[in-house]
Amino acid sequence: MAVSVTAALLIIGDEILTGRTKDKNIGYVAEYLTGIGIDLREVRVVPDVEEEIVAAVNALRSRYTYLFTTGGIGPTHDDITADCIAKAFGVGIGHDPRAVAMLRERYQPDELNEARMRMARIPDGADLIENPISKAPGFHIGNVYVMAGVPSIMQAMLDNIASGLQTGARMIIETIEAEGLPEGIYAEGLAQVAAAHPSVSIGSYPSFSTAGFRNQIVARGKDPAEVAAAKAAIQDLLGRLKGDQAPL
Amino acid sequence: MAVSVTAALLIIGDEILTGRTKDKNIGYVAEYLTGIGIDLREVRVVPDVEEEIVAAVNALRSRYTYLFTTGGIGPTHDDITADCIAKAFGVGIGHDPRAVAMLRERYQPDELNEARMRMARIPDGADLIENPISKAPGFHIGNVYVMAGVPSIMQAMLDNIASGLQTGARMIIETIEAEGLPEGIYAEGLAQVAAAHPSVSIGSYPSFSTAGFRNQIVARGKDPAEVAAAKAAIQDLLGRLKGDQAPL
């Protein structure tokens, strides 16, 4: 039985919920974690409201191997993530000397005002996540990894923490083009293939453009032989159905 | 006191959690609802797993005025949203004659096989949401609106239901460019502006490109006069700070 390492992602920020900022982190984190063998099982987006953040952190960190958060770690009053994490863990929070040292690499002493020092407020017991772009660090405490919301910084932070994460068997993902066959034609056969390969998760994904529908079938699993067998069964099914539809 | 109408969005689909499909619905729905006076308060993404979907539906429909869902209403075996909604509401599910009639507009009798008929399975007591693109309808039951995952279809469905939704006071959103001022310089003053205008939610949003940081301050609220006052106070703050930094 392949080891399963799971994760949730918590996106913190009113700007996503009003549509002002279009999220770019969910797709990136999803693909990144899948690629290193961590199964992203849930995503939540919550506003900059303390009780919402604390409740979501506690619900998600207890359910999954890891919880990753993005957003709310800057210097302004609406950046409340660090305080919420401290509250969720029931620990204190204060200026972390290691974080202050990182900020000093970027700011002159007279520039390091109280607002900027907010970015060095780290929950007690947390370790820092380096930020090569703007220095203000993220942190991790227990199984929770707290990252910036700005995509380029979040991505750099994820690179910095990835090597320290426990990973499981990598998901093998095979995409099979339905090449013009409609979902309604292959659905019954696909359900039979899915039932015959219970360790493989099989999905059918239509997309739509001015050129019409395009259907892709995706087989996902952790056992290479079983995914390959499911893929072959799907290709066989599609081949038979195309044969049925061939013009006489 | 302005009426507040709230909503949650539930995105259903493994394909988003593996990163295979990059979500395009969250940003669209967020902006759309904000524009018509509905406050999106939470988003969740869950996999194609019955107990996860049922739990999320019940958690979210009880907390907000509306719950919108996307995904999982096609003809294939992994399309389980309608069954999950029926289970969440504790009602039966079967072929809805109105939905069957819609499918007949698209499919010839010999094309309307069992798989396609799955798309006419609608929970008892639900009303249909028309789908002008591929006919298979969405539906709403209680305060839950079930839409397709394909963005163009989801958008058409949202247009079809919007006029029937209760809406509240529209959020007024003012964006003020910080024009080169770093967050750490205006953070303290901005916190004072935020404290002085408690009915206005004020956020500071950095973005980062090869050209460096760009900061935008956003003031959001439902009272036009209060948002305008907060905006003026922010502009005044930024003007003072820029004056401080003027070269001699």
Residue type at position B17? L
Cβ-contact B194, B226 below 8 angstroms: no
Handedness of CA A53, A27, B60, B204 (dihedral sign): positive
Q: How far apart are CA B25 and CA B149, in angstroms?
A: 8
CA dist B40 and B78 (Å) reads 27
Q: What is the pLDDT of residues B138-160, one digit of tens each?
A: 999 999 999 999 999 999 999 99
Closest residue on chain B to A12 (Cα): B42
Which pLDDT score, from 0 to 100, does residue A212 have?
75
> Which pLDDT score is estimated for A210?
74
**CA A92 to CA A210: how far, in whole Å?**
56
Q: Can you name the residues that pair with B93 across neighbouring β-strands? A: B123
Residue A101 near residue A43, CB atoms below 8 Å: no
Report the topology of domain A172-245. Alpha-Beta Plaits (3.30.70)
Alpha carbon distance A121, B12 (integer Å): 36
Q: Label residues A49-62 b or e (16+ Cβ within 10 Å = b).
A: eeebbbebbbbbbe
Q: What's the rounded Cα separation, in Å, for the pair B142 and B245?
A: 57
User: How far is residue A136's CA from residue A100's CA, in Å, rounded to a whole number?
Assistant: 9
Q: B16 and A22 in contact by Cβ < 8 A?
A: no
Q: What is the DSSP string of A80-126?
A: -HHHHHHHHHT--EEE-HHHHHHHHHHS-GGG--HHHHGGGEEETT-
* Helix and strand numbers, DSSP H then E, in chain A: 9, 11
Q: Does A153 touch chain B (CB under 8 A)?
A: yes
Decide: helix, strand or coil at residue B8: strand
Tell me which chain B residues have a C-beta less than 8 angstroms from the C-beta of A14: 201, 203, 220
For chain B, the farthest-separated pair of C-alpha atoms sits apart, in whole angstroms, at 83
Cβ burial, residue A112 (10 Å; 0-12/13-18/19+): middle
Q: A134, A124, A50, A123: which is closest to A82 by C-alpha?
A: A123
Query: Would you state the pLDDT for residue B245?
Result: 63
Question: Contact, B199 vs B226, CB < 8 A?
Answer: yes
Please answer whether residues A22 and B34 qualify as being in contact, where contact means their C-beta atoms are separated by less than 8 angstroms: no
**pLDDT under 50: residue ranges of chain B:** 1, 247-248
**Interchain contact B41–A (C-beta under 8 A):** yes
Q: Largest Cα–Cα distance of chain A, in whole Å?
A: 83
pLDDT value at residue A2: 55
Domain range summary for chain A, segments of one domain joined by +: 6-162, 172-245
Residue A245 pLDDT grade (very low, low, confident, very high; cuts 50, 70, 90): low
Chain A contact for B121 (CB, 8 A cutoff)? no
Task: Report the C-alpha gap between A129 and A136 in whole angstroms.
Answer: 9
Sign of CA dihedral A144, A148, A150, A156: negative
Taking only the tens place, the pLDDT of each residue in A161-194 is 999 999 999 999 999 999 889 999 999 999 999 9
Radius of gyration of chain B (CA): 23
Judged by a CB distance cut-off of 8 A, whether residue A55 touches chain B is no
User: How long is chain A?
Assistant: 248
Q: Which residues of A are less than 8 Å from B78 in CB distance?
A: 194, 201-204
pLDDT of residue B2: 55
Nearest Cβ partner for A44 among B22, B31, B43: B43
Report the residue from B21, B28, B203 with minimal CB separation from A48: B203
Instruction: Work out the minimum CA distance from B18 to partner chain A, whole angstroms.
Output: 5
- Is B46 in Cβ contact with A208 (below 8 Å)? no
Closest partner residue to B76 (CB to CB) among A41, A78, A187 is: A187
pLDDT at A28: 98
Q: Which of A23, A101, A205 is nearest to B24 (CA)?
A: A23
Instruction: Report whether pLDDT(A1) > 60.
Output: no
Q: Are A45 and B48 an interchain contact pair (Cβ–Cβ within 8 Å)? A: no
Residue appearing with tokens 């460096």:
B212
Question: Do the chains contact at B187 and A220, CB–CB below 8 Å?
Answer: no
How many C-alpha atoms does B41 have within 13 Å on its Cβ side? Answer: 20
> CB-based burial of residue B93 (10 Å sphere; 0-12 exposed, 13-18 middle, 19+ buried)?
middle
Q: Within 13 Å, how many C-alpha atoms sit on residue B15's CB side?
A: 24
- Distance in angstroms (rounded) separating the CA atoms of residues B163 and A225: 51
pLDDT digits (tens, 9 = 90+) for B44-66: 999 999 999 999 999 999 999 99
CA angle (A28, A31, A32) in 5-degree steps: 80
Segment (H or E) for A60: helix A50-61
Judged by a CB distance cut-off of 8 A, whether residue A53 touches chain B is: no
Q: Does an H or E element contain A185, and which?
A: helix A183-196
What dotted CATH number matches A6-162? 3.40.980.10
Using a CB-CB distance cutoff of 8 angstroms, which residues of chain A are in contact with residue B176?
Answer: none
Residue A199 pLDDT exceeds 70: yes
